[in-house]
Amino acid sequence: MNRRTAVRNIIIISAGASLLPGCVSSTEETPLYLKHVQLTASQQKMLAELTETIIPKTNNFTGAKDLKTEEFVLVMVDDCASPEDQNAFTTGMKAFEDACKKKFNSGFAKCTAQQRVELLKELETKDEKDEAARFYHAVKGLTIQNFTSSKEYLLDVVKWKLVPGSNFKGCVPV
């Protein structure tokens, strides 16, 4: 065997072996990469379902999942919140999931829509000392912020115009 052929074959095999894991798709979606907040894929899915429960998709308008609100919430918490608030967010997320498991014996993502709404109505009435309620109110605020700053909301609901339309007449003296 020729030495060049052997070295070439070893390089091709090692390159193929290093690229092979990237070609295999996993059944569970990988979580969003965050610098400060540690999160699992199931927690990200739960957060997506929570934002979709807060602003659901309707026949004529997009919902929170379509706007990728869970990613907005996570990036805002990861980039803009203090380390204490980030820790409170993650502990509140665990408390929220525990409250759901205590009430319905399943995680929030596996609950029915009626059970989700029931849990959120219960958390609306609780005070801010409850970690699960604090987490819910933080997510709700960021969900509303993302929704009201989205292109779809500004163009379809508010009818906001970047440039004045046909009602602007620049040649008319004021």
**pLDDT, position 164:** 64
Does the residue 34 lie in any domain?
no
pLDDT digits (tens, 9 = 90+) for 21-59: 666 655 455 567 788 888 888 899 999 999 999 999 988
Structurally, the chain folds into a number of domains equal to: 1
**pLDDT, position 27:** 47
Does the residue 145 lie in any domain?
yes
Compute the distance between CA of residue 61 and CA of residue 66 in angstroms, rounded to an integer: 10
Does the residue 7 lie in any domain?
no
Compute the distance between CA of residue 36 and CA of residue 94 in angstroms, rounded to an integer: 17
Does the residue 13 lie in any domain?
no
Does the residue 12 lie in any domain?
no
The model carries a pTM of 0.75
Does the residue 169 lie in any domain?
no
Does the residue 68 lie in any domain?
yes
pLDDT digits (tens, 9 = 90+) for 52-102: 999 999 888 889 999 999 999 999 999 999 999 999 999 999 999 999 999
**Which positions ≥6 away from 63 have C-beta within 8 Å?**
52, 55, 56, 57
Looking from the CA of 75 toward its CB, the CA atoms found within 13 Å total 8
Does the residue 21 lie in any domain?
no
**Which positions ≥6 away from 166 have C-beta within 8 Å?**
none
Domain encompassing residue 133: 40-54+63-156
**Which positions ≥6 away from 43 have C-beta within 8 Å?**
31, 93, 97
